[in-house]
Structure 1
Amino acid sequence: MRAAQEVKRVWVEEIMGIPMSVHLISFGEPEASTERAVRACFHDLHEIDGLFSTYRPESDISRIRRGELALADADPRVDLVAAACDEAEHRTEGLFSARWDGSFDPTGWVKGWAVEEASRRHLAPLLSSAIAVGINAGGDLQLFTAAGADWQWHVGIADPHDRGRMIATIDITDGAVATSGTSERGHHILDPRTGEPATGVASATIVADGLAHADVWATAAVVAGPTDHSWITASASRTGVTVGDDGAITRWLGSTVIDVRQVSGAPAA
């Protein structure tokens, strides 16, 4: 039977200050070429971290922010990311911004983009001999499944008010899932329009084709707040769910909003 033949292998490495894990489902033990592909994926992500980290004084981004390096003289990938951030700010109508305070901080874009790019380059080709492969970057996922394979990734969405409870499960063959919110790091997401912490949404989960896209719109959903759903059509997301600070859950499919009117485990006011 299929279940008896499947072999699941996981590789884990800390990158960008978070655990990143590659998950492979195959028939048989991974080959040496698979090991090399996983290590190459991690290597690319370490390289991007070294280039864009705001915590490393020697990174291009840190040097740009100190005025020691012009954007035009930086690694070409910095200019590529700057253009992508400007486009994301335009598409989200200012709900996402890498330049809101006058400086340049693309960290809200870089992780999703880097994970998606590295996994498409190094992990997706493994499907020539594997059933499925995916990467988990601190809870954000980029997932791939071989054409014709009888496999789906079952992704649970945790209640931000009760991390031991799942409010939904999403089945994905290929795609990305990103979650932003306050349950892990508090109100760390700033509203670029005001410079103040975004409040009202405890978590927002977006499902899209790619993680760069999903990650930006998960952030935008938190900034938009619990009652503004006008951004959903522009997000072109497959589906998603937000959980308010009060526990109210809103779900959508495509551009159609479904208010489940369910209450999560939010503490009483």
Structure 2
Amino acid sequence: MGTVASAHVLTARAVPGAALSARIADAQAAALDELQELDALFSPFRPDSQISLLRDGAPAPGALDPRILEVSAACERLASASAGRFDARRQGWFDPTGYVKGWAVERAARRHLAPLLAEDGVVAAGLSAGGDMQLFTAPGADWTWTVGIADPLHRGELRAQVAVRTSGTAERGAHIIDPRSGLPVADAPTATVIAERLSDADAWATVAVVAGFDDLTWLRGAPDTSGMLISPDGRVRRWAHGVEIADAVRWGL
């Protein structure tokens, strides 16, 4: 995935008991190990991955890992829902890099970290990789994640913060190809999308960048998302649950 991943678990006590500490350490290690496994399966930059072998004409479709078929089906649905702004087959072969990192983080987090919420003393848990985050809060816990949105114009500074309880965020910026033209997106905005499932947030963030700052018509296909776009010149657009939020300053309020 070419990025750094981290697994976080918040407990009610600063130093949990030995048994819970061991359970947490095992879950964190398992989540990070699964990300490594999925990277080895899906990376188009590794010649021995199944994605690369598929691109080069092997293996046969019947020999594919079922997780590749799962991701392929999801990418087909997103291509249709986004009116072609997202397309994992734009180059004539299957490259799910615009979807699979978020999907992998969500999958590993749900399998290994989410079960920790049933442990007495665990308040919250989350998995992050390269700006993609799947976050969980234990039922009844008085905890809210505060996620910072980086300012693309001022390195190291935040443009906004958002309170998240059980959702994920994804950031996308440069190096995204418009599948309709095959060219890099010019004047690409920075997109942050929040959704119930990180895999959806990751893909819709890509769609938002491809559509551009001035086009939010794609929201009709993603009514359950919220987020923010920042243009290269610093302008901001926000939406919640598929509806754009007007800026009070813009209207002189």
Q: TM-score, normalised by structure 1?
A: 0.86
Letter in 1 for 2:228: V
* 2:33 is aligned with 1:43: yes
Worse-matched range after superposition: 211-220 or 29-38? 29-38
Going from structure 1 to structure 2, the CA distance change for 1:193 and 1:261 (only over 3 Å counts) comes to farther
Matches within 5 A, 1:1-269: 16-26=1-11, 27=13, 28-29=15-16, 30-129=20-119, 130-182=122-174, 188-260=175-247
- What is the DSSP-based 3-state SS (H/G/I as helix, E as strand, rest coil) of the residue aligned with 1:149? coil
Work out the CA distance in 2 between the residues paired with 1:140 and 1:52.
Answer: 17
Query: How far did 1:68 drift?
Result: 2.3
1:48 maps to a residue whose letter is L
Q: Relative to 1, partners in 2 of residues 1:238 and 1:78: Cα closer, same or farther, differing over 3 Å?
A: closer
* CA contact 2:150–2:156 (8 Å) conserved in 1: yes
Residue 261 (structure 1) shift: 8.3
- CA deviations 1:84-110 (Å, max 9, x no partner) are 111111111111111012111111111
Range with bigger deviation, 209-218 or 155-164: 155-164
Which amino acid in the other structure matches residue 138 of structure 1? G
Paired amino acid for 1:137: A
Shift of 1:163: 2.4
Preserved contact between residue 43 and residue 52 of structure 2 (Cα < 8 Å): yes
Q: 1:162 to 1:261 in 2, by over 3 A?
A: farther
Aligned-pair Cα RMSD in Å: 1.6
What is the rounded CA distance, in whole Å, between the counterparts of 1:77 and 1:246 in structure 2?
A: 40
Q: Which has the higher contact order (CA 8 A, sep 6+)?
A: 2
Query: How far apart in 1 are the matches of 2:80 and 2:145?
Result: 32
Distance 1:153 1:191 in 2: 33
By how many angstroms is 1:155 displaced? Answer: 0.6
Match in the other structure for 1:11? none
Q: CA deviation at 1:210?
A: 1.1
Instruction: Give the Cα separation in 2 of the matches to 1:32 and 1:98.
Output: 40
Report the residue type matching 2:209 in the other structure.
Answer: V
SS state of the match for residue 69, structure 1? coil
Q: Aligned partner of 1:103: which letter? A: W
Local SS of the residue matching 2:229: strand
Deviations 1:167-216 (A, max 9, x none): 2110011111011112xxxxx10000000111233300001111100000
1:126–1:206 CA distance, 2 compared to 1 (3 A)? same
* Structure 2 contact 105–132 (Cα < 8 Å) conserved: no
Alignment coverage as a number of residue pairs: 243
Preserved CA contact (<8 Å) 1:238 1:254: yes
Post-superposition shift, 1:152? 0.4
The amino acid that maps onto 1:20 is A
TM superposition score normalised by structure 2: 0.91
More strand by share: 1
Contact 2:201 2:225 (C-alpha < 8 Å) held by counterparts? no
Shift of 1:247: 1.4
Distance in 1 (CA, whole Å) between partners of 2:129 and 2:49 is 21
Show structure 2 runs of 5+ residues with no match: none
Could you list the runs of 4 or more consecutive aligned residues of structure 1 that deviate by over 4 angstroms after TM superposition? Answer: none
After superposing the two structures, state which structure 1 stretch, 156-165 or 133-142, moved more.
Answer: 156-165
CA distance in 2, matches of 1:152, 1:159: 22
